[in-house]
């Protein structure tokens, strides 16, 4: 009996494997159901904004809308072309179209946001993070238009926006800053003098710098002299500004930040720390709260300094003071982010405070309704940033695609998913490729790690390449589990880049056993016709399979037998028993009992030629499964000639061709830049992989290219 969709409970629908998939209504209620916000329940008697506009998109827009809804505040979403069907637009009460897909033509244009505010009559604007969140001019404009900005004042933003200025302000507020020379270095000798007085190692960096350019580490006088010269030259050519700074260089630092919250009445509290040391290319990957490294005294000292900086600034709303912490627990002010941070949910989990609610209250002019004494550390929270990116390419190069299947593991205990996407959403080249912030909390660090691992295993993401393999591997890695981490963690643990999970012998055998069960199930199913008369020829379905399996270039011969509703698989003389009812070819995720342990696998793809892709322990394994007879015959087949890839320059990811720096017939040398591909605001220089003549150029500046497209071919 087919039930028309219209009559199904509007709140939940059941996925194909009976996992509850929250729909819009239920995600909005999520936090209430889980009871994360224990410390500041909504007071519906308190005056609140009637309607706010969220000048952002994606997960943060959804996150803000959820709290606004709880508080009974109407919400307005803004959206670009690419976001017209996005979740944040569906969740909001109203939505305003603000232009083309690129952020520079929509979300970043103040006038469009102001226009949307005027059209909808929103009383306040929440900027989220990124985009206009730290744009003082935007805030000033709002202030003059009498629209509340749900964030700090324009002057706070300005004060903390400039590196030198913020450091001065911090020092003045008694915050420990990185020892350094607070002025412009005159020449190389001056640089050596300063370096000596600070004490080596030091960092010489361009005042106008950024992105690692014009930066040198010096460990002695000679380094300092050379470093000054080189950095000056670089700074001049890159930024047209040769002013140099010198400061103490902190080896293997940890990145620990303090969450602060202030109101317009001079009250400021700190909500403990977050450790964000696991980073790649200065982007955070895994964050946790609290930090395993801080003792109570350090935590208190850092928190109090952060509060004192805020008081000095007259800071209100949520903010984050970032510190570098060295191996001896000396901490140094790095910068202050005058906005809600991406990783704020872990703080919410351990403190029970809804930061967005507090921001909304503060912006409305209310006093904080919690005091420093209320802030405790309840358990441990871990945030894994699930990105649409390929972790095997320098720890993550963006990928794009449509999520044709998407199930968040929110049915598990202690799991919170902050995402702005749903099944069917498209991850495009225009914005940050984040899929979700997977936040897992438990009574201690161990439990929150265990829950994170389990949640990653139960996460179903189809249609884009994602970084779950890397996230899961970090979470199971020894050093990480010991809490021995720093901002250099990834290059230290994976010096040759991430190569995927290395299964131990037993897990590998279990994977093989499960793969063989899938093959056998498929083989049995292939003959299960429901409306075809049974042939009288006495041919029973196979009772046993002699299989040949290739996994990671390793070859196996395995025997599978079936009896009593079980598959028995013999792998290198080890017997594995799998119940047939656990194996299903249509479910996106399988819980398979192998002998006595339950494993979770996902069948990503299968085809009749024998290619299976199975996700196990976070990593996708490509298996090639044949009957032994087919395999015998296959070995008679010639190897296909592989094209010499060194003569082809292929696009490492989807993106936009920024420039093409060669023409057909040019002689190029290995390493020479041939073109630049831009994706997600990252510029990738594509260099010649070997020396030779350019045979053909398939691209023009402005073209969009797909992953693995051949851009340029060399002769």
Partner 1 sequence: MSVHLTSKNFLWHLKSHVRSVVRKRVGEVRYSNGTEAHTLKIAERIKQKKSEALLGGGQKRIDAQHKRGKLTARERILLFCDHDSFVEYDMFMEHTCTDFGMEKQKFPGDSVVTGNGLVNGRPVYVFSQDFTVFGGSLSSVHAKKICKIMDQAVLVGAPVVGLNDSGGARIQEGVASLAGYADIFQRNVLASGVIPQISLIMGPCAGGAVYSPAITDFTFMVEDTSYLFITGPDVVKSVTNEDVSQQELGGAKTHTTISGVAHKSFANDVEAILQLRNFMGFLPQSNQYPAPIRESSEPSHLDVPMLDTVIPPSATSPYDMLDIIYGIVDERDFFEIMPKYAKNIITGFGRINGRTVGIVGNQPKVAAGCLDINASVKAARFVRFCDAFNIPLVTLVDVPGFLPGVTQEHNGIIRHGAKLLYAYAEATVPKLTVITRKGYGGAYDVMSSKHLRGDINYCWPTAEVAVMGAKGAVTILYKGKDDIEKREAEYIDKFGTPFPAAQRGFIDDIIEPRTTRWRLSRDLDLLATKKLQNPPKKHGNIPL
Catalytic residues: 339
Inter-residue contact 407 to 424 (CB < 8 Å): no
Q: Give the range of 210-218, 306-314, 398-406, 678-686 binding partner 1 by CB under 8 A.
A: 398-406
Among 93, 140, 234, 423, binds partner 1 (CB under 8 A): 423
Q: Give the interface segment with partner 1, choosing from 233-241, 356-364, 583-591, 675-683 (CB under 8 A).
A: 583-591
Figure out which of the listed residues 153, 425, 487, 617 binds partner 1, where binding follows CB under 8 A. 425
DSSP line for 406-422: EE--TTSTTEEEEES--
Does 555 contact partner 1 by CB under 8 A? no
Residues 11-40 that bind partner 1 (CB under 8 A): 13, 16
**Long-range CB contacts (within 8 A, 24+) of 493-498:** 494/395, 497/392, 497/393, 497/394, 497/395, 498/391, 498/392, 498/395, 498/469, 498/470, 498/473
- Collect all residues with Cβ–Cβ distance below 8 Å to 344 and sequence separation of at least 6: 259, 318, 355
Q: How far is the CB of 225 from partner 1 (least distance, A)?
A: 57
**712 scored as a contact of partner 1 (CB under 8 A):** no
Residues 319/271, Cβ–Cβ less than 8 Å: no
Site string for partner 1, 488-527 (x = CB under 8 A): -------------------------------------xxx
**The pair of three-digit structure tokens given for residue 527, joined into one six-digit string:** 């003959």
Q: Which is nearer to partner 1, 186 or 611 (CB)?
A: 611
Cβ proximity to partner 1, 529 vs 597, nearer residue: 529
Q: Does 5 bind partner 1 (CB under 8 A)?
A: yes
Number of residues that bind partner 1 (CB under 8 A): 47
Determine which residue in the list 84, 197, 492, 572 makes contact with partner 1, applying CB under 8 A.
84
Distance of CA 131 to the CA centre of its chain: 17
Q: Rounded to the nearest whole angstrom, what is the least distance from the CB of residue 423 to partner 1 in the complex?
A: 4
Closest distance of CB 514 from partner 1, Å: 17
Decide whether 45 or 528 has the Cβ nearer to partner 1.
528
Instruction: State the CB neighbour count (10 A cutoff) for residue 93.
Output: 14
* Contact by Cβ (8 Å): 276, 337: no
Q: Which is nearer to partner 1, 317 or 521 (CB)?
A: 521
Nearer to partner 1, 5 or 44 (CB): 5
Figure out which of the listed residues 81, 412, 577, 656 binds partner 1, where binding follows CB under 8 A: 81
403 binds partner 1 (CB under 8 A): yes
Question: Cα–Cα distance between 428 and 437 in angstroms, integer?
Answer: 18
Q: Specify the residue, 2 or 482, whose C-beta has the smaller distance to partner 1.
A: 2
Structural contact between residues 101 and 430, judged by C-beta atoms closer than 8 angstroms: yes
Residue 195: helix, strand or coil by DSSP? helix
Nearest approach, Cβ of residue 463 and partner 1 (Å): 8
219: tokens are 């460990």
| Cα separation values, 354 from 22, 40, 318, 491, Å | 21, 7, 11, 35
The alpha carbon dihedral of 160, 164, 167, 173 has a sign of: negative
Please state, in angstroms and rounded to a whole number, the distance separating the CA atoms of residues 218 and 196: 11
Phi-psi region of 587 (alpha: psi -120 to 50; beta: other; left: phi over 0): beta
Q: Are 644 and 682 in contact (CB under 8 A)?
A: no
Q: Tell me the closest approach of the beta carbon of residue 69 to partner 1, in angstroms.
A: 21
Nearer to partner 1, 165 or 632 (CB): 632
Phi, psi of 644 (to 5 degrees): -70, 105
Q: Which of 573, 636, 642, 643 binds partner 1 (CB under 8 A)?
A: 636
Is residue 297 a contact residue for partner 1 (CB under 8 A)? Answer: no
Closest separation in Å from C-beta 87 to partner 1: 10
Between CA 352 and CA 35 the distance in angstroms is 8
Subset of 522-551 contacting partner 1 (CB under 8 A): 525-532, 535, 537, 539, 541-542
Which one, 109 or 626, has the nearer CB to partner 1?
626
Region binding partner 1 by CB under 8 A among candidate stretches 50-58, 136-144, 424-432, 481-489: 424-432
Report d(CA 390, CA 256) in Å as an integer. Answer: 27
Q: Which of 11, 118, 413, 634 binds partner 1 (CB under 8 A)?
A: 634
C-beta closer to partner 1: residue 172 or 634: 634
Q: How many CB atoms lie within 10 A of CB 130?
A: 18
SS (H, E, C) 684-705: EEEECCCCEEEEEECCCCCCEE
Near partner 1 by CB under 8 A: residue from 366, 445, 587, 658: 587
Residues within the interface to partner 1 (CB under 8 A): 2-3, 5, 13, 16, 81, 84-85, 402-405, 422-426, 525-532, 535, 537, 539, 541-542, 584-587, 605, 608-610, 626, 629-630, 633-634, 636-638, 640
């Amino acid at each position: 009996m087919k039930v028309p969709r219209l009559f199904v409970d509007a709140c939940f629908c059941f996925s194909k494997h009976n996992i509850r998939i929250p729909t819009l209504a239920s995600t909005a209620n999520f936090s209430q159901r889980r009871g994360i916000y224990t410390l500041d329940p909504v007071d519906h008697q308190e005056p609140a904004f009637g309607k706010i506009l969220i000048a952002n998109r994606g997960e943060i827009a959804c996150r803000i809308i959820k709290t606004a809804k709880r508080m009974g505040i109407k919400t307005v979403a803004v959206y670009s072309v690419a976001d017209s069907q996005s979740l944040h637009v569906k969740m909001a009460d109203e939505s305003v179209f603000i232009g083309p897909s690129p952020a520079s033509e929509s979300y970043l244009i103040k006038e469009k946001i102001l226009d949307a505010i005027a059209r909808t009559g929103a009383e306040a604007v929440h900027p989220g993070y990124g985009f206009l969140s730290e744009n003082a001019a935007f805030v000033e404009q709002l202030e003059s238009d009498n629209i509340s900005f749900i964030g700090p004042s324009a002057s706070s933003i300005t004060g903390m926006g400039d590196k030198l200025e913020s450091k001065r302000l911090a020092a003045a507020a008694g915050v420990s800053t990185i020892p350094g020379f607070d002025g412009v270095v005159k020449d190389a000798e001056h640089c050596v003098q300063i370096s000596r007085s600070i004490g080596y190692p030091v960092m010489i960096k361009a005042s106008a710098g950024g992105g690692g350019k014009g930066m040198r580490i010096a460990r002695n006088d000679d380094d300092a002299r050379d470093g000054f010269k080189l950095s000056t030259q670089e700074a001049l050519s890159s930024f047209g500004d040769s002013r140099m700074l010198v400061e103490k260089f902190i080896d293997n630092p940890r990145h620990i930040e303090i969450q602060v919250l202030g109101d317009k009445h001079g009250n400021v509290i700190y909500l403990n720390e977050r450790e964000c040391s696991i980073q790649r290319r200065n982007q955070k990957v895994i964050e946790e709260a609290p930090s395993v490294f801080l003792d109570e005294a350090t935590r208190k000292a850092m928190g109090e300094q952060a509060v004192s900086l805020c008081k000095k600034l007259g800071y209100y709303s949520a903010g984050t003071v970032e510190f570098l912490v060295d191996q001896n627990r000396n901490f140094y002010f790095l910068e202050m982010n005058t906005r809600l941070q991406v990783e704020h949910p872990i703080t919410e989990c351990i403190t029970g405070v809804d930061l967005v609610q507090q921001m909304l209250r503060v912006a409305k002019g209310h006093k904080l309704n919690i005091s420093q004494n209320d802030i405790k550390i309840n358990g441990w929270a871990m945030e894994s940033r699930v990105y649409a990116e390929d972790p095997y390419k320098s720890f993550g190069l963006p990928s794009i695609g449509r999520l044709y299947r998407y199930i968040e593991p929110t049915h598990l205990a202690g799991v919170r998913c902050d995402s702005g996407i749903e099944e069917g959403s498209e991850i495009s080249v225009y914005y940050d490729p984040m899929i979700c912030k997977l936040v897992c909390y438990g009574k201690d660090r161990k439990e929150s790690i265990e829950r994170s691992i389990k949640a990653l295993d139960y996460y179903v993401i189809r249609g884009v390449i994602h970084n779950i393999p890397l996230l899961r591997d970090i979470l199971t890695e020894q050093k990480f589990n010991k809490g021995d981490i720093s901002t250099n963690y990834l290059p230290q643990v994976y010096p040759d880049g991430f190569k995927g999970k290395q299964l131990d012998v037993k897990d590998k055998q279990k994977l093989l056993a499960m793969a063989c069960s899938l093959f056998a199930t498929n083989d049995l199913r292939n003959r299960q016709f429901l409306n075809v008369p049974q042939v009288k020829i006495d041919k029973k379905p196979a009772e046993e399979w002699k299989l040949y399996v290739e996994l990671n270039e390793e070859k196996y011969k395995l025997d599978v037998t079936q009896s009593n509703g079980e598959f028995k698989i013999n792998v290198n003389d080890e017997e594995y028993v799998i119940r047939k009812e656990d194996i299903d070819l249509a479910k996106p995720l399988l819980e398979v009992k192998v002998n006595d342990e339950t494993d979770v696998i996902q069948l990503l793809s299968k085809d009749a030629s024998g290619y299976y892709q199975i996700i196990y322990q976070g990593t996708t394994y490509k298996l090639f499964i044949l009957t032994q007879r087919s395999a015998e015959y296959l070995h008679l087949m010639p190897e296909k000639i592989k094209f010499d890839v060194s003569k082809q320059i292929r696009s490492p990811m989807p993106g936009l061709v920024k420039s093409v720096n060669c023409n057909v017939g040019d002689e190029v040398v290995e390493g020479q830049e041939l073109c630049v591909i831009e994706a997600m605001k990252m510029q990738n220089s594509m260099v010649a992989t070997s020396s030779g003549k350019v045979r053909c150029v398939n691209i023009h500046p402005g073209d969009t290219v797909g992953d693995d497209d051949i851009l340029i071919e060399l002769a």
